[in-house]
């Protein structure tokens, strides 16, 4: 399954994802490509694949991205092949993408589940962006402006989590993942029929993994 996670920078998406990956097996975060400069503490291939603009453009031409967008004057893109491989392995993938990226994925992959992460308040968000100390003050100001504009789009998402208390936010995200897995519409009816749990004629669609793989590739 694909989970789309959006929320402005500083809202705690990376921390949330790291904790979810340790608490739920078979959930992984898609590692995007970006042209933004690497920050202190980041590692190539862990937070992002850091590439220059010409490499990024070459990848666009090769149709290597499921979606890509320009965010804060840098390019960010979700690699397609990596997703195909993980979907084939039955792994749940979280895409940390901005609102434009989320819209593109929602349009092309209606089975994806979208989650918007809100800060507890604007004051807390501003303080978090400033305390990170990894960006210059004009960058922080721009990110704060963009954050406010982006937050208005939470209504386009399936779920909204307010990240006031991290443990509570984790519990809510975990619940979403667990509940989405047992949705009747997501059952693998072919598997059910083979095991005598469903009648052959109630199997109008191919398996979920097959459907998702076809859309991505």
Q: How far is the CB of 63 from ligand 5GP (least distance, A)?
A: 15
Residue 37 beta carbon to ligand 5GP: minimum distance, rounded to whole angstroms: 9
Determine the interface stretch with ligand 5GP among 18-26, 92-100, 120-128, 192-200 (rule: CB under 6 A): 92-100
Nearer to ligand 5GP, 51 or 198 (CB): 51
d(CA 119, CA 11): 5
Between CA 159 and CA 58 the distance in angstroms is: 35
Nearer to ligand 5GP, 10 or 208 (CB): 10
CB 204 → ligand 5GP: shortest distance, Å?
Answer: 33
Binding piece for ligand 5GP, criterion CB under 6 A, among 91-99, 111-119, 180-188, 190-198: 91-99
- Which residue from 93, 101, 154, 157 is in contact with ligand 5GP, where contact means CB under 6 A? 101
Q: Is 9 in the site for ligand 5GP (CB under 6 A)?
A: yes
d(CA 123, CA 11): 12
Using CB under 6 A as the binding rule, whether residue 71 contacts ligand 5GP is answered as: yes
Instruction: Give the Cα-Cα-Cα angle 100, 139, 97 (nearest 5 degrees).
Output: 25
Single out the residue of 28, 100, 160, 209 in contact with ligand 5GP (rule: CB under 6 A): 100
Residue 185, phi-psi category: left (phi > 0), alpha (psi -120 to 50), beta (remainder): alpha
Q: Which two tokens stand for residue 138?
A: 């004009």
Q: Does residue 98 bind ligand 5GP (CB under 6 A)?
A: yes
With respect to ligand 5GP, which residue has the nearer C-beta, 24 or 139?
Answer: 139
Judged by DSSP in three states, 29 sits in strand
Minimum CB separation from ligand 5GP for residue 174, in Å? 20
Cα separation, 101 vs 156, whole angstroms: 13
Q: Write the CB contacts of 166 (distance below 8 Å, at least 6 apart in sequence).
A: 12, 15, 16, 19
- The C-alpha atoms of residue 128 and residue 189 are separated, in whole angstroms, by 46
Q: Catalog residues that contact ligand 5GP under the rule CB under 6 A.
A: 6, 9, 32, 36, 67, 69, 71, 76-78, 96-98, 100-101
């Amino acid at each position: 399954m694909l989970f789309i996670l959006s929320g402005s920078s500083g809202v705690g998406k990376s921390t949330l994802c790291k904790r979810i990956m340790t608490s739920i097996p078979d959930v992984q975060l898609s590692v995007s490509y970006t042209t933004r400069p690497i920050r202190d503490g980041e590692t190539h291939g862990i937070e992002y694949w850091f590439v220059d603009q010409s490499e990024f453009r070459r990848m666009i031409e090769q149709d290597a991205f499921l979606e890509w967008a320009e965010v804060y004057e840098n390019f960010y893109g979700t690699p397609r092949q990596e997703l195909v491989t993980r979907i084939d392995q039955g792994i749940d993938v979280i895409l940390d993408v901005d609102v434009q990226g989320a819209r593109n994925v929602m349009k092309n992959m209606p089975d994806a589940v979208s989650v918007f992460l809100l800060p507890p308040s604007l004051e807390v968000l501003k303080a978090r962006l400033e305390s990170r100390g990894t960006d210059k003050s004009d960058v922080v100001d721009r990110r704060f402006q963009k954050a406010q504009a982006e937050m208005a789009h939470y209504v386009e998402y399936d779920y909204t989590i307010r990240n006031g208390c991290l443990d509570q936010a984790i519990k809510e995200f975990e619940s979403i993942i667990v509940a989405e897995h047992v949705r009747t519409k997501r059952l693998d009816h072919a598997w059910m029929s083979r095991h005598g749990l469903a009648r052959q004629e109630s199997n109008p669609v191919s398996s979920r993994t097959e459907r998702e793989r076809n859309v991505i590739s």
